[in-house]
Amino acid sequence: MKTYKFKLYQHKRNKHLHRSINAAGNVYNHCIALHKRYYSMFGKHLKNNRLMKHIAKLRRKNEYWQLVGSQAVQDIVQRIDRAYQLFFKHNQRGVRPPNFRKRIKYKSFTLKQSGYKLLENNQLKIGNKIYRYWKSREVQGKVKTVTIKRNPLGELFIFVVTDYVDNQINVMTSKSAGFDFGLKTFLTCSDENNIDSPLFLKQSLRQLRLASRNLSRKQKRSSSREKARKNLVRVHEKVSNRRRDWFWKLAHQLTDKYDYLYFETLNLKGMQRLWGRKIGDLAFSEFLKILECVAEKKGKIVSYIDQWYPSSKTCSSCEHVLKELPLDKRYWNCPSCGCKHGRDSNAALNILRVGASTLRVGDVSQPRVAISV
């Protein structure tokens, strides 16, 4: 599967897509309300097919809901059902049920089998309306779904998902490495290559403060406040785009150099409560998602060791385990063999050793982060 992202031209007919997204949000909230009411009355989960039939009847009488195609309505019902299934299965791990969304925060709708058509000259037909988009590259493969999505600035994008599989030639290096995530050094590698994060949020903190202060001074529901809001969104979007670009480049560098990459499972939510904005700026979980995506395409393996393994307190030479090791102690001497260790470099070596010894062929589905605290 491959996803293509294109931006729609700004045009007055785009208001129809905005209205369709708003109507999709209305359908979504109504489905959530039905789920909550059904569970409060009968103590059971509302079945997917039953809800689809009920929404189909209501849609015939509601002209506003008819702005959303039947395929998009089915996708909304199915997404809510999947979200509830995940909640019932993993609620002990902190997974929350789906909830109501404000109209301004509802972002997209998806068309699966019908309701759209990709035309020549960078045109997309949805319903009876034709829209143009910036076609940066050719779409390869059979189109499976088309998603219309808007960002906080009000710009519209289309996401085209195809069944195309890129059969690229993968160069194997037979190298392995363990990586330790840290606040001062983003990644400490077992082969002594340290990677520092540019900290894009910290670089743009002054601009964000000025933009946020300017927004707070504007009168509510005024045009100047809307301009200030969009200015703040642009600053946040620039930070996010720069960080994501750096993540993709780093993921390609690591997967080109190593075949097996080992990490430690971390409780990032607990770390967020301790160190706050710094953890959000590093965005380690987002990097791992990108790294797994790149590694899967190149045939490389990303694996994780147990969260509770004492990687920092274990001597990488003789495997002696310290009873205590405070966070402010960056270097320590092993009382057993006398070796001097750096906290992060020693942890990276232990992650490599444990990960290589416990890896099973095809076992790449271990959790990236610990959800429980």
Q: Which of 112, 129, 162 is the C-terminal boundary of a domain?
A: 162
Q: Is residue 369 part of a domain?
A: no
Q: What is the pLDDT of residues 164-206, one digit of tens each?
A: 877 666 778 888 999 999 888 999 998 888 899 999 999 999 9
146 and 184, same domain (yes or no): no
Q: What is the pLDDT of residue 362?
A: 46
In a domain, 167, yes or no: no
> In terms of domains, do 186 and 121 share one?
no
In the chain, the number of structural domains is 2
Output helix, strand, coil percentages for the chain, rounded to the nearest 5: 45, 20, 35
Render pLDDT for 14-45 as a digit per residue (tens, 0 to 9).
999 999 999 999 999 999 999 999 999 998 88
Residue 368 lies in a domain: no
For residues 98 and 80, the answer to whether their CB atoms sit within 8 Å is yes
Instruction: Judge if 188 and 318 occupy the same domain.
Output: yes
pLDDT at 79: 94
| Co-location of 103 and 209 in the same domain | no
Residue 277 above 80 pLDDT? Answer: yes
Give yes or no: residues 239 and 102 share one domain. no
Percentage of the residues of the chain whose pLDDT score is greater than 90: 55
Residue 366 located in a structural domain: no
| Residue at 364 is within a domain | no
pLDDT tens-digit map of 91-110: 877 788 899 999 888 999 99
pLDDT for 205-222, tens place per residue?
999 999 999 999 999 989
Same structural domain, 117 and 195: no
The stretch 237-246 carries a mean pLDDT of 95
Residue 314 lies in a domain: yes
Relative to beta strand 108-111, strand 340-342 is unpaired
Q: Which residue, of 128, 162, 196, is where some domain finishes?
A: 162
Going by their DSSP bridges, the two strands 176-181 and 260-264 should be labelled as parallel
Residues 219 and 335 in one domain: yes
Could you tell me if 127 and 194 lie in one domain?
A: no
Co-location of 217 and 280 in the same domain: yes
**Do 151 and 195 fall into the same domain?**
no
Q: The domain containing residue 74 runs over which residues?
A: 2-162
Shared-domain flag, residues 138 and 228: no
Give the long-range contacts of residues 31-34, CB within 8 A, separation 24 or more: 31/55, 31/76, 31/77, 31/80, 32/80, 32/98, 32/99, 32/100, 33/100
Same domain as 155, residue 8: yes
267: burial class by Cβ within 10 Å (0-12, 13-18, 19+)? Answer: middle
Residue 131 lies in a domain: yes
Residue 168 lies in a domain: no
- Domain boundary at 129, 162, 195, which? 162
